[in-house]
Structure 1
Amino acid sequence: MDYVIGLQNSTEPRVEMERQPAFDHWMFKHHFTFNEARGRNITVQCNLCLPKVNILSTARDSTSNLKKHLERKHAEHYRKSPSGDGPSDSGHEVKGPSDKKHAKMDHAVYNYTTQSKLNALVFNFIVEDVQPISILEQPGFRKLIEVLSRGKKVMSRKTFDCRLEAAFDKMKEELKKKLDSVQSLCTTADIWTVNNRSYFGMTCHWLEDNLERRSAALACTRIYGRHACETVIAKIQEIHSSYNIESKIRATVTDNASHFVKAKEFSSEDDFEVDESQFEDLGSILSEGEMGADFFLSYFLPPHQRCAAQTLNLIASKDLADAISTGPTHKLHDSSMAKCVAIWHKARDCSTVVADAMESIANVQFTAPCMNQWSSKYFAVHKLMSLTDSQLTELTDLLDVPNFMPEEIAYLKEYADVFKPVAVAFDLLQGEENCFIGIVIPTLLTLKRKLQEKMANTRFFSEVIDNTVKAIDSRFKQVFDSPDARLATTTMPQFRLWWLPESEREVLRAQLVTEVSQLVFVPETANTNVGSVNEDEFFSYGPGSSGNRDGNRGAAEEVRMYLEGTNKDLKCLDDFPRIKKVFIKFNTTLTSSMPVERLFSHEGNIITPKRNQLADEHFERVLLLRYNSKICSLALE
């Protein structure tokens, strides 16, 4: 720590350097941060008082003020030196402590870490950072821990394995108890292949009584061989059975891969049909018919729900692209996009000097988009078209790529404007915590309306818009026709029946009354802790606010009062307890399979080299312990 020391003139007599402040050698120094020196005093900030900023002053040769602050405000953190060998708190000058005093102070601090506590810290280190278990046997790591803990030993690999198994079993039992009390669940599933290994992952999701969404990981297990339909079906059934949740699953949400879509053939929904023309890679699998009757009778799967976000991405990246490629503007599209791609590639590979120059042009960073994600590419185009013509020319000159022609700029600006609703809808459907299946139909209807509104004023995209709207109707036909999705939408106060034509409202109202009538009425205390849902400008259904309150009314009357209400906040469902139960039942289902993808990509660190050093069984246990520590408090103790 630096303090100002006056320089001595060669003609003046030498003076002794100032002694270091007593604070520098104080055993509780780590609870404070040095601020500044003021003559014979210094000021420090108390770290224990944060977030409140508390500046304290003390003499350079005394820490008594700071000791009194600890005793008064943070007694639990203050431990007096047992032998009284710590720095003096008197007003006398304090000399540097001897080696013996250092040893006694260090011994007092390290004694607070027991062998049991050390084992827990090392265990948590491996679990939370998904470290290879072999680190326990590395000499450097063992020496580091032994020195820091004053001779305590690092647990053996065998001890860790036993501890891992016990912690995993404890976590799984706690999770089972939580799921036993849940009425409706949704699961997401996916297969991830990396480094010549394939893993089947599954997460589950539910809504608490306060409408807060909870999530847990159920599996991340290795699978072998071909990703056939039989393998997927057996794995889903096995995982559901292991947690005793088969009868509670409202739907299993997956991506649009062919093996998952074929597994849907064995769902309990008899009226479901897969349109082979919608997904070109499904035809051969759907027509194989390899499984016999015995296999069909052996398994039961919940309804299968395709990821709405991926389906919309498929529309934007394939149907929209096909419409452009066959239209009269395909050459203009190709030349415009080629210049955008050239800019993105140059931006990715350029030097820091060029990157700084690019950022200075419009005070924004230019990065290469993920080309297989339409929304990523769209926002990259939108960023380029937000520049003025002069800025765009300056950028292309800097990167030495062809300049945009006026017609190309006009085309790309119209592209960014026309398809902005698609990008907004895509972001809405990727949500997790505050996203419900009831949002899908209003999102798609609003998207179609916004696209059709732009059709009259577009130069280049009228035919493309028409094909995109048809693709939405075709690919989302299952959702539009689903009674569950329609009831989920109706029980969302933001939408109620406002999204339906007048001619169809009475039928859905009757369905809601039937659903509510089947529930056993139990009066509930109003919960005021639920946060309100912000009204998104993207939607335009229904009027403003105000609700009604009546705890004892029949099913039909409760439905009538709910549908006549105008309060769009989710918390208004506390006034309609049976509607709230129906909401939880149908809106437990997610719109997207993104949670299980996040399990692989963010939580699992599967692609890192250190992951390959974990055995498959150990990896799954470590990953699930880490993920579920958010809801299973005892998992890492």
Structure 2
Amino acid sequence: MKMEPSRSSFDHWMHRYHFTFRETRGRNITVQCNLCLPTIKLLSTAKDTTSNLKKHLERKHSLVYRKKTSKDEPSNSGHQTSELGPSDVKQPKMDHTLYTSQSKLNVLIFNFIVEDVQPISILEQPGFQHLIEVLSRGRKVMSRKTFVARLDAAFDRMKEELRVKLDKVQSLCTTADLWSVHNRVYFGMTCHWLEDNFERKSAALACTRIYGRHNCEMVIAKIQEIHSSYNIESKIRATVTDNGSSFVKAFKEFLPEDEREAEENQFEDVGSILGEGEGGDFFLSYFLPPHQRCAAQTLNLIASKDLAEAISKEQIQRVHNSSTAKCALIWRKARSSTVVADAVESIANLKFIDPCPTQWGSEYHFVQKIMSLTDAQLTQLIDFLDVPHFVPDEIAYLKEYADVFKPVAFALDLLQGEQKCFLGIVIPTLLTLKRKLQEKAASTQFFAEVIDSTVKAIESRFKQVFHSVDARLATTTMPQFRLWWLPEAERESLRATLVAEVLQLDQGFDEGDTNGVSLHEDEFFSYGPGSSSNRDEKRGAAEEVRMYLEGTNKDLQCLNEFPGVKKMFIKFNTTLPSSVPVERLFNHGGNFLSPKRNALTDEHFERLLLLRYNSKICTTAFE
């Protein structure tokens, strides 16, 4: 019998022995896959092509198909080559990207653990090991011991690279704080500086475990130790901390007598300070930089503690207590279950978050959200949660509360910034806040006396900032403010101070630049046209400051036209107004100290945390 021409494609195919011919159906044939046995797998393909069968081998039996093809398969015909082309041409490229060397694989796994906050124990999990072995063609996952060795080496590289970077910086600011978690206490510190393009850079210096009492002496010793380890003691403009008694007393010991008297006028926990050891000659062995209290935390104290005390002394205490109690009941019930939370969100089109008891801003924003609802939404929400309705006086009180203290909430958000937040914004922010509160006092129904007490608290708690020469110069060198914020009678004095600082700073840079370097004759002699003395006469420090102060451009980049003032801006505005960055460092640390990672030693915890925090500025550590 003559063979049907239509079957010739399958009969002459090199992989036909993997299939058993079953029958012909019109223009198609049916075959059974021998590799799928004992499962019966029937496949249909056209008589003049084997493309369906090839796809089945590629998808279900790729190892057998590729091995045979790479060794033996010739190009049977033009259309067969084109059918194989797309998958076979792309496959080697995929292999090249998936499979890598052992050293590169170790780098990828190390970065995966550090940057994505993975537990080290993942290296010993069978599933992870199998995944890596399959993707890397049998290469092994590094052991815990190897990872720790790489961690130590990466940390040393990171610290050395950071030292080199900080060595080139003229002015630095550090932030410090204590953190309690899982019955442990850690001392954290970050540092910050401004680049020539005004971009702020940040790095973590330490997050070390503290044993025993974290008193004033411990704080002093730790700050000195960390600063010394990076050789930055002489470059620090200020160390920013919260108002904790340990930090307050530690820095007070190093203040001049006149500034120490000003510090004593601040509101402090006297019992905590007196309960700490006096130290005797201990303080003579250390040196600390100037202290900057966290402006955000200080304002938060005013908005919570001082505001509550002022309200308690007024007749509005009753309506305050009743209205805030109903608000508290709403947020407790709204967060009682996910079902209730979803219903509340659908009713009010808002997602409620529990207010933090130590952060006044979160409580204020919750009240503001409640008062932003329409009467119908508020009624529906209260009925759904089955809480008491607000009476008209309570509604009026809460709406006025949300309106009067909106500038306080805005100022808090402003002072907690990092990238675009400078010491120079503190005084204008406080002055603007005082003015806005006083403007509202005339039209308020409930808060006239409370506003007066709040303004006095701002003046008292920020007295040191208002009188700080550094803070005043930081404000003046910001084009947004210049001397416009200052009363006319005080402007000339501050202008003269600015000129003196520019002159002193220029002389300091000249001395540093010429130290050990030979000068050109034209730079040494100052006679004749074009000499340095004539240039100074045309545009000296006083003229530069005058031109700057008379300008109206508020863009920070305009400082490039005034090099002396620009140096002053970088010098004084390096200091941050708040210690929020070190709190963010602790937030990073919380990920590493979850229950799965609680077995980390204190040393490894610190190294992992600092490597992750500094990954953007210390890139060589991950190579």
TM-score past 0.5 threshold:
yes
Q: Residue 247 of structure 2 corresponds to which residue in structure 1?
A: 260
Structure 2 counterpart of 1:502, from 488, 497, 518: 488
Contact 2:252–2:263 (8 Å) recurs in 1: no
Q: Residue 586 of structure 2 corresponds to which residue in structure 1?
A: 600
Q: Residue 292 of structure 1 corresponds to which residue in structure 2?
A: 280
Q: Quick one: distance in 2 between partners of 1:291 and 1:15?
A: 100
Q: Kindly provide the amino acid, as one letter, of the partner of residue 311 in structure 1.
A: T
Matched, 1:237 2:221: no
Matches within 5 A, 1:193-232: 193-232=180-219
Equivalent residue of 2:189, what SS? strand
Q: Residue 334 of structure 2 corresponds to which residue in structure 1?
A: 347
Could you give the per-residue CA deviations for residues 361-393 of structure 1, whole angstroms, max 9, x where no partner exists?
A: 342223322232101110110111111222211
Matched, 1:174 2:177: no
Matched, 1:160 2:164: no
Could you give the per-residue CA deviations for residues 2-26 of structure 1, whole angstroms, max 9, x where no partner exists?
A: xxxxxxxxxxx999799xxxxxxxx
Closer, same or farther in 2 for the Cα pair 1:287/1:363, shift >3 Å? closer
Q: Residue 56 of structure 1 corresponds to which residue in structure 2?
A: none
Unaligned runs of 5+ in 1: 1-12, 19-58, 64-80, 524-549
Q: Residue 271 of structure 1 corresponds to which residue in structure 2?
A: 258
Q: Residue 446 of structure 2 corresponds to which residue in structure 1?
A: 460
Closer, same or farther in 2 for the Cα pair 1:388/1:519, shift >3 Å? same
Contact 1:187–1:249 (8 Å) recurs in 2: yes
RMSD, aligned α-carbons = 3.3
Q: Residue 119 of structure 2 corresponds to which residue in structure 1?
A: 132
Q: Kindly provide the amino acid, as one letter, of the partner of residue 566 in structure 2.
A: K
Equivalent residue of 2:332, what SS? helix
Contact 1:264–1:303 (8 Å) recurs in 2: yes
Q: Kindly provide the amino acid, as one letter, of the partner of residue 235 in structure 1.
A: K
Q: Quick one: distance in 1 between partners of 2:71 and 2:560?
A: 61
Q: Quick one: distance in 2 between partners of 1:205 and 1:17?
A: 75
Could you give the per-residue CA deviations for residues 188-213 of structure 1, whole angstroms, max 9, x where no partner exists?
A: 01111111111111000000001100
Matches within 5 A, 1:132-531: 132-267=119-254, 269-273=256-260, 275-276=263-264, 278-285=266-273, 290-293=278-281, 295-352=282-339, 354-520=340-506
Q: Quick one: distance in 2 between partners of 1:61 and 1:257?
A: 76
Q: Quick one: distance in 2 between partners of 1:84 and 1:462?
A: 94
Q: Residue 615 of structure 1 corresponds to which residue in structure 2?
A: 601
Q: Quick one: distance in 2 between partners of 1:329 and 1:153?
A: 70
Matched, 1:121 2:108: yes
Could you give the per-residue CA deviations for residues 450-470 of structure 1, whole angstroms, max 9, x where no partner exists?
A: 000000000100010000000
Equivalent residue of 2:259, what SS? coil
Closer, same or farther in 2 for the Cα pair 1:284/1:629, shift >3 Å? closer
Structure 2 counterpart of 1:630, from 611, 616, 619: 616
Q: Quick one: distance in 1 between partners of 2:614 and 2:94?
A: 36
Could you give the per-residue CA deviations for residues 495-517 of structure 1, whole angstroms, max 9, x where no partner exists?
A: 01111111111110110010011
Q: Kindly provide the amino acid, as one letter, of the partner of residue 454 in structure 2.
A: T
Identity of aligned residues (%): 71
Matches within 5 A, 1:560-575: 560-575=546-561
Could you give the per-residue CA deviations for residues 241-296 of structure 1, whole angstroms, max 9, x where no partner exists?
A: 00000000000011111111111123355532264564342444158561112x11
Q: Kindly provide the amino acid, as one letter, of the partner of residue 482 in structure 2.
A: R
Equivalent residue of 1:209, what SS? coil
Q: Kindly provide the amino acid, as one letter, of the partner of residue 148 in structure 1.
A: L
Contact 1:168–1:625 (8 Å) recurs in 2: yes
More divergent stretch after superposition (249-258 vs 142-151):
142-151
More divergent stretch after superposition (83-92 vs 152-161):
83-92
**What TM-score, normalized by structure 1, do the two folds share?**
0.79
Q: Residue 515 of structure 2 corresponds to which residue in structure 1?
A: none
Corresponding pairs, count: 538
Q: Quick one: distance in 1 between partners of 2:341 and 2:459?
A: 43
Bigger Rg over Cα: 2
Deviation for aligned residue 1:95: 7.5
The structure carrying a bigger helix percent of its residues is: 2
Q: Quick one: distance in 2 between partners of 1:551 and 1:119?
A: 63
Equivalent residue of 2:237, what SS? strand
Q: Quick one: distance in 1 between partners of 2:94 and 2:163?
A: 44
Closer, same or farther in 2 for the Cα pair 1:89/1:113, shift >3 Å? farther
Deviation for aligned residue 1:86: 13
Q: Quick one: distance in 2 between partners of 1:486 and 1:286?
A: 33
Unaligned runs of 5+ in 2: 1-24, 31-50, 56-68, 511-535
More divergent stretch after superposition (626-635 vs 585-594):
626-635
Q: Quick one: distance in 2 between partners of 1:614 and 1:378?
A: 39
**What TM-score, normalized by structure 2, do the two folds share?**
0.80
Contact 1:61–1:91 (8 Å) recurs in 2: no
Q: Residue 42 of structure 2 corresponds to which residue in structure 1?
A: none
